[in-house]
Amino acid sequence: MAQAKPAIELDHVSFSWGRQAGDRALDDVSLRVEQNDFLGLIGPNGGGKTTLLKVMLGLLSPQAGRVRIFGQPPRQASRRIGYVAQHTAIDPQAPATVMDVVLMGRLSRSTWASWGMRYSKADHAAAEEALARVGCASFARRPIQALSGGQRQRVLIARALAGEAELLLLDEPTTGVDMFAEQGLIGLLTELNTRLPIVIVSHDIAFVSRRLTRVACLNRRMTVHGIDELTDDAIHAMYHSPVARVHHDEGACPIHGGSHGGDDHLHDGADVGADAGAKTNPNMKADTSDD
């Protein structure tokens, strides 16, 4: 079970959409995600969060740097990643039941799995087990259009689990999900984190942070903080000051955290995280409107 290779390894990754080096979406980003990590990836809109996700998934190739997923190039490893898109990625009018959607996660399990009309019994069993794990077993036959945002998000997580994902990447999982469902979702992810490394992309860290092991701040450049060091200052720097202040942090704190698991630490983290999140939220909105 235990693998020596880190789940995600980014070495000095740079990516730009245009030709000029000036408009880099990602600038010299380095990151290691270990087996037991629960990493929050936060940053303002346009900061490169989605670009970085696509680089990890092998949908975009960086101009510079090296990306490895479980020691493999991302294109080869993409089947080992359970990518959980925003629940809005699924057409709400799609003629599919919850089961149909979860079974999609089994497409790449074998050479013949993606051909023909029907999924095998083993595929159905895996899908049912995955639905049970996210607490949606009773929804299997419901049309996907009949579910709430939170339920749909759970179904997408089940799809990743049905595909026997070894790493979960979640993109803004709490968008359009009410507070109650959101807390349930975080509880589920925390439970799944006992077996899988998880990376969760969000611009709202208030709820997530108390469970995270580390937080990566991305605004073209990346700084990684242990959850206990995510201070008001760090977030403020992230969203408001020039990027230079983040550089400064980066020099002082390369990559750390992940080693602490004590209750005291987590408790501290919760307070700091929630506090910082609450303070910065209005600022974040102001920031995006400037862009």
Partner 1 sequence: MIDFFRDMSANVFLQTGLIAGLLASVACGVVGPLVVTRRIVFLAGAIAHASLAGVGGSIFLQHHQPAIFSWFQPIYGALLAALAAAVIIGVVHDRVAERMDTLIGALWAVGMSVGVMLIKYTPGYHAELMSYLFGNLSMVQAGDLWFIAGLDVVILATIAVMYKRLLAVCVDPEQARLQGVNVLAVQITLLCLVALTVISLMQVVGLILVLALLTLPAATAAHHTTRMAAMMSVATCLCLLLCTLPRVAVYGSRLSPESAIVLAAAGGYLLSVAIRRWRAHANGLRVTTTAGGSDR
What distance in Å separates the CA atoms of residue 53 and residue 246, rounded to the nearest whole number? 21
What distance in Å separates the CA atoms of residue 261 and residue 195, rounded to the nearest whole number? 15
Among 10, 31, 104, 237, binds partner 1 (CB under 8 A): 104
- Is 59 a binding residue for partner 1 by CB under 8 A? The answer is yes
Mark out the alpha helices in the chain (DSSP H runs). 49-57, 74-77, 98-103, 121-133, 149-162, 179-192, 232-239, 243-252, 263-290
Choose one: 5-13, 103-111, 176-184, 270-278; the region binding partner 1 (CB under 8 A).
103-111
Helix, strand counts (H, E) of the chain: 9, 9
Among 32, 68, 79, 133, binds partner 1 (CB under 8 A): 79
Q: At 71, is the secondary structure helix, strand, or coil? A: coil
- Is 97 a binding residue for partner 1 by CB under 8 A? The answer is yes
Q: What are residue 178's phi and psi, to 5 degrees?
A: -70, 165
- Is 124 a binding residue for partner 1 by CB under 8 A? The answer is no
- Is 100 a binding residue for partner 1 by CB under 8 A? The answer is yes
Choose one: 65-73, 79-87, 132-140, 201-209; the region binding partner 1 (CB under 8 A).
79-87
- Is 121 a binding residue for partner 1 by CB under 8 A? The answer is no
* Nearest CB to partner 1, comparing residues 25 and 103: 103
- Is 286 a binding residue for partner 1 by CB under 8 A? The answer is no
The strands making up 198-201's β-sheet, listed across from edge to edge, are 81-84, 167-171, 198-201, 38-42, 214-219, 221-226
Task: Convert residues 147-166 into a mask of x (bound to partner 1 by CB under 8 A) and - (unbound).
Answer: ------------x---x---
| Token duo for residue 256 | 């750390």
Report DSSP state, residue 143: B
What distance in Å separates the CA atoms of residue 8 and residue 65, rounded to the nearest whole number? 13
Show the CA angle centred on residue 231, arms to residues 289 and 247, nearest 5°: 70
Among 3, 12, 94, 288, binds partner 1 (CB under 8 A): 94
| 259 to 179, 197, 255, 267, 290: CA distances (angstroms) | 30, 14, 11, 15, 38
- Is 265 a binding residue for partner 1 by CB under 8 A? The answer is no
* Nearest CB to partner 1, comparing residues 44 and 74: 74
- Is 221 a binding residue for partner 1 by CB under 8 A? The answer is no
Among 2, 4, 117, 252, binds partner 1 (CB under 8 A): 117
Show the CA angle centred on residue 226, arms to residues 180 and 191, nearest 5°: 40
- Is 81 a binding residue for partner 1 by CB under 8 A? The answer is yes
| Token duo for residue 66 | 């090296």
Window 5-34: residues binding partner 1 (CB under 8 A):
none
Among 88, 114, 148, 288, binds partner 1 (CB under 8 A): 114
- Is 122 a binding residue for partner 1 by CB under 8 A? The answer is no
Among 50, 65, 68, 96, binds partner 1 (CB under 8 A): 96
- Is 85 a binding residue for partner 1 by CB under 8 A? The answer is yes
- Is 57 a binding residue for partner 1 by CB under 8 A? The answer is yes
Count CB atoms within 10 A of the CB of residue 4: 7
Judged by the rule CB under 8 A, the positions of this chain that interact with partner 1 are 57, 59, 78-79, 81, 83, 85, 89-97, 100-101, 104-105, 107-108, 113-117, 119, 143, 145, 159, 163
